[in-house]
Amino acid sequence: MNKPVDLKGLVLDPVTNDQRYIGSSEPRHQARRLIEGQGTYVDDIQLPRMGHVVYWRSPVAHMKIGKIHTEQASKMPGVLAIVDGVKMAELCKPWVATLGHLAGMKSAPQYALAIDRACWQGEPVVAVVAETRAQAEDALQFVDVEWEELPAVVSMETALDADTPVIHPELGDNLCFTRTLDVGQVDEVFATADIVAEATFGFGRHTGVTLEPRCQIADYNPGDRRLTVYHSQQAPHMMQDLYCRQFGLSESDVHVICKDVGGSFGIKVHAYPDDFATVGLAMMLERPVKFVADRLESFTSDIHAREHRIKGRIAANKEGDILAFEIDDLTAIGPYSMFPRTSAIEGNQVVNLVGGPYKHQNYRAKLNVVFQNKTPTCQYRGVGHPIACAVTEGLVDLAAQKLKMDPLEFRKRNVIPDDAYPCSGISGIKLEVLSHEQCLRTIEKMMDYSALRKEQAELRKKGIYRGIGFATLIELTNPSPAFYGVGGARIASQDGASARLDPSGVVSILIGVGEQGQGTEGIYAQIAADAVGLSIKNVRIITGDTDVTPYGGGTWASRGAGVGGEAVLLACQALQENILKLAGAILTRSPEELSVRRGHVLDKATGEQLLPFSEIGRIGYFRTDTLPVGFSADLMVTRHYTQKEYPFIFTNGVQASYVEVDPDTGFVKLLKHWAVEDCGRVLNPMLVDEQVRGAIVQGIGGVLFEECIYDESGLLRNGSMADYLVPMANEMPDIEVAHVETPTQSSKLGAKGAGEAGTAGAPGAVQNAINDALAPFNTAVFDQPITCEKILKALGKV
């Protein structure tokens, strides 16, 4: 059973004057609709005259597009339009996804529908719109595209070779971005260190597999020249801005609505070519057009992530101090950098984060990001963190092994101490305040480490091979404009919230950050209830509508709680002030003599209830004639918050995994997983636990099962849920979660992000646990996903 959440250590000073929800495991009351089958996901919406689009996508990795024959298809029943790239480009401009602050980064112009060439299997080429989805699919089979296969760049290892074709000749080569970092005396340290350990780490491409596929309805009304887009998306204002720019509209012409979103994980924070194409079709046809990706389309057109090969080494002295890290990272991103966040960010994060938890003073990193003819890659949950963490922690374990030191002791000795903050990490990252030491102590106790080691040793004598693996990690959250804004991307790092007292006494919160399952609505309701001072029952949260919510960045980089939550707090505290001012005007008393509690204005001194919120609403809206001349009630306030003190607010945590490896079959059984997470102030322990667990399971997917497998010609071989393995309940272990709370000082709320650290740490922890189990055989595997076959190969059995 789930242990009752340990609230010890969670008692930070309250942030509001009537606090009872913040910090407690309040259920997500608004989520009830989801378990009653009453959510509204995009595919649940049907509009009058709505057409359905399906896309003819490139069947090969790289091809020249010849003549497109549509005569036959356009005669099929129900067909409304068939549109190719040339026609689409009359409406929608191409884009180039680079960022100014990633020096030297390049990419080629990309079109909503491919023109002349298609550069990956799955790139949309022709759109077919019909009255029903089935009719569109029927007609699709009669679209005849003449094409000629071109040589494909598949392997990233040879992408930069002189005899490899250049995917975009105008760029000169297949190099998208390169970066080197050299701090300290790396060569000297490696030459004189007592021990040096090294390994090459492989990471398979994988993808998000949101259970609800990407989907969208675009609706253009020629009467008022307004475009409305219902979208399963994480960043409504970002999409509004992109539609404006690509189609030459202004913000007020575009309305983006994101209702329930069936999983996102970063997959739904990018702008896809078919997003623009669907909008273009709605504008051409002047009627609503719905696009819902089928699962095969999801596998070939949703962004992929994490294809890296990293050579890494570590140096330490015999006392057990880590002296240096060095990495060489090669990664491939498909044929285009993804719009608008760019695909160079993942590798850049790896460079920033390797070695991040530790005190060492010497670090060298080299990064090459190359193009290839596979599905574009971009930010997916954790972005670079799982890679950096698995490399760092794999090397740390190798060093500990060489020094014959216990891996937990070795970590304790080397992490940046809890009293050293604020400080800079060796790669230049600014660390505000972290708690590695406390987290390591907590996990040791939680898992009863010494007992587990004993059990492991005894079982080993009986031929049962179990392993324990750790992963210490840092994660960047609460981003400032340093992430994208400075690079020229129009992605808001600020968020705004409006708090409105409605006449009935209910408080409505309008905010740019939406709900994709994290519990955003839940924590905002908690914050609002506490900050205004009323029951959570009387709070409504309205998100995901660019016409009504203040401008904001949406969901990415674990910013919902730390940035969005802070905006809600500020707006609600301001609303409480205005409520008190109005009450003072009604009662002809000084607002200082009054306070708010549980939906009532009270006499501060006696606690006597003077006015319920419904009375404040009644007078504030309907009887302003009774108020002093010139008094304005202002029962709706908006506040914005942007985190400006650090480029990001880092969180930290540690995970441990306990596994059993069967040396005869290579089969890995996950026995148990532990996580200690410090996300600053914990707004709702139950929701954070579940964020951590869900994220860990996605990380476990990456280390054990998930891989987009391509053949030599660049064709995806496992584009279905039956072939692409994601974790199911049966293989997953119970996951114990504990919290350490080190609030950030950059906000009143003190909350940091919690959405991705689980995914960041799990691959490293599981990889280390497997290698610990394999230690008696003097072998190890550093190539993810770590399959049975790879383990058997390492054991020399196949």
Q: Which three-class secondary structure string do you get for 3-51? A: CCCCCCCCCCCCCCCCCCCCCCCCCCHHHHHHHCCCCCEHHHCCCCCCE
From other proteins, ligand FES, none, which one binds at residue 488 (CB under 5 to 8 Å depending on kind)? none
Which of 59, 94, 263, 663: binder of other proteins (CB under 8 A)? Answer: 263
Measured between alpha carbons, how far is 784 from 386 in angstroms, rounded to an integer? 11
Spatial separation of the C-alpha atoms in residues 338 and 785, rounded to whole Å: 24
The interface partner of residue 720, options being ligand FES, other proteins, none and the CB cut-off 5 to 8 Å by kind, is: other proteins
With CB under 6 A, what is the number of residues at the site for ligand FES? 3
- Contact between 637 and 568 (Cβ < 8 Å): no
Tokens 């300290």 sit on residue: 184
519 counts as binding other proteins under rule CB under 8 A:
yes
Distance in Å, CB of 210 to ligand FES, minimum = 8
28 binds, among other proteins, ligand FES, none (CB under 5 to 8 A by kind): other proteins
709 makes contact with ligand FES (CB under 6 A): no
Question: Taking the CA atoms of the chain, what radius of gyration do you get in angstroms?
Answer: 27
Q: Which does 50 bind (CB under 5 to 8 A by kind): ligand FES, other proteins, none?
A: none
Candidates 51, 204, 517, 743; binder of other proteins (CB under 8 A) is 517
Nearer to other proteins, 482 or 726 (CB): 726
Complex with ligand FES: residue 267 or 399, whichever CB lies closer? 267
Cβ distance 363 to 181 under 8 Å? yes
- Decide: helix, strand or coil at residue 117: strand
Does residue 517 touch ligand FES according to CB under 6 A? yes
Name which of 28 and 639 has its Cβ closer to other proteins.
28
Which residues does residue 535 pair with via DSSP β-bridges, in sequence order?
A: none
Question: Any contact of residue 38 with ligand FES (CB under 6 A)?
Answer: no
Residue closer to ligand FES by CB (options 719, 750) is 719
CA distances from 191 to 72, 186, 194, 315 (A): 70, 9, 9, 9
Binders of ligand FES among residues 615 to 654 (CB under 6 A) are none
Considering the rule CB under 8 A, would residue 211 count as an interface residue with other proteins? yes
Q: Is residue 27 a contact residue for ligand FES (CB under 6 A)? A: no
Q: Tokens for 358, please give them.
A: 């530790």
| Contact characters 176-215, ligand FES, x per CB under 6 A | -----------------------------------x----
Per CB under 8 A, 540 contacts other proteins: no
Residues 579-598 that bind other proteins (CB under 8 A): 598
Q: Name the residue nearer to ligand FES (CB basis): 407 or 755.
A: 755
State the nearest-atom distance from the C-beta of 212 to ligand FES, in Å.
Answer: 8
Sole binder of other proteins in the list 107, 414, 516, 787 (CB under 8 A): 516
The DSSP code for 518 is S
**Cα dihedral 135, 137, 143, 144 in deg (nearest 10):** -150
Residue 414 CB, nearest approach to ligand FES (Å): 38
Query: What is the C-alpha to C-alpha distance for residues 229 and 497, in angstroms, rounded to an integer?
Result: 22
Residue nearest to ligand FES (CB): 211
Q: What does each C-alpha distance from 560 to 245, 326, 349, 490, 565 come to in angstroms? A: 26, 34, 20, 18, 6
217: phi then psi, degrees, rounded to nearest 5 = -125, 125
* C-alpha distances out from residue 224 to 179, 255, 600, Å: 48, 12, 44
Stretch 519-558 residues interacting with ligand FES (CB under 6 A): none
Q: How far is the CB of 263 from ligand FES (least distance, A)?
A: 5
> Which 696-735 positions form the footprint of other proteins (CB under 8 A)?
696-698, 720-722, 726-730, 732, 734-735
The whole-angstrom separation of Cα 47 and Cα 50 is 5
Whether 416 and 434 have beta carbons less than 8 Å apart is answered as yes
Between 211 and 548, whose beta carbon lies closer to ligand FES?
A: 211
The answer to whether the peptide bond before residue 48 is cis (omega within 30 degrees of 0) is no
Under 8 Å between Cβ of 393 and 765: yes
797 secondary structure, DSSP code: -
The alpha carbon of 610 is separated from its chain's Cα centroid by a whole number of angstroms, namely 46
Of residues 250-269, those binding ligand FES (CB under 6 A): 263
Select 191 or 211, whichever has its Cβ closest to ligand FES.
211
1 is in the binding site of which of ligand FES, other proteins, none (Cβ under 5 to 8 A by kind)? other proteins
C-beta of 517 vs 680, nearer to other proteins: 517
d(CA 205, CA 304): 6
516 binds, among ligand FES, other proteins, none (CB under 5 to 8 A by kind): other proteins
Residue 464's binding partner among other proteins, ligand FES, none (Cβ under 5 to 8 angstroms by kind) is none
Tokens of 759: 């995914």
> Nearest distance from residue 210's CB to other proteins, in Å?
6
Nearer to other proteins among residue 526 and residue 652 (C-beta)? 526
Query: Per CB under 8 A, which region of 30-38, 56-64, 223-231, 458-466 contacts other proteins?
Result: 30-38
Q: Least distance (Å) from ligand FES to the CB of residue 560?
A: 16
What burial class does residue 184 get, using C-beta atoms within 10 Å of its C-beta: 0-12 exposed, 13-18 middle, 19+ buried? middle
Binding to ligand FES by residue 727, rule CB under 6 A? no
| Sequence-distant (≥ 6) Cβ neighbours of residue 485 within 8 angstroms | 491, 492, 493
Q: Does 36 bind other proteins (CB under 8 A)?
A: yes
Q: Which residues of 421-442 are buried (b: 16+ CB within 10 A; e: fewer)?
A: eeeebbbebbbbbbbbbbbbbb
Exactly one of 225, 537, 717, 797 binds other proteins (CB under 8 A); that residue is 537
Q: What angle do helix axes 385-402 and 407-414 make, rounded to 10 degrees? A: 110
- Look up residue 75 and give its two tokens: 């005669």
Q: How far is the CB of 46 from other proteins (least distance, A)?
A: 7
C-alpha span between 623 and 62 (Å, rounded):
69
Nearer to ligand FES, 494 or 691 (CB): 691
Give whichever of 230 and 363 is closer to other proteins, judged by the CB atom: 230
Considering the complex, what minimum distance in angstroms separates the CB of residue 267 from ligand FES? 13
What share of residues in the chain are helix, strand, coil (percent, to 5)? 30, 25, 45
CB 277 within 8 A of CB 92: yes
With CB under 8 A as the contact rule, which of the stretches 204-212, 412-420, 485-493, 564-572 interacts with other proteins?
204-212
Does residue 290 belong to the site contacting other proteins (CB under 8 A)? no
- Residues 409-428 binding other proteins (CB under 8 A) are none
Give min distance, CB of 295 to ligand FES, in A: 8
- Cβ 677 to other proteins, closest distance in Å? 13
Q: Cα 91 to the chain's mean position, in Å? A: 31
Residue 735: which of other proteins, ligand FES, none does it interact with, CB under 5 to 8 A by kind? Answer: other proteins
What part of residues 305-364 is at the interface with other proteins (CB under 8 A)? none
Contact 423, 417 (CB under 8 A): no
- Which regions of 114-213 does DSSP assign to beta strands (E)? 117-118, 124-130, 144-149, 175-183, 195-203, 206-207
Task: Tell me whether residue 518 or residue 747 sits nearer to other proteins (CB atom).
Answer: 518
Interacting residues with other proteins (CB under 8 A): 1-2, 20-21, 26-29, 31-41, 43-44, 46, 77, 134, 208-213, 260-265, 292, 294-295, 516-519, 535-537, 598, 686-687, 689-690, 693-698, 720-722, 726-730, 732, 734-735, 758
Interacting residues with ligand FES (CB under 6 A): 211, 263, 517
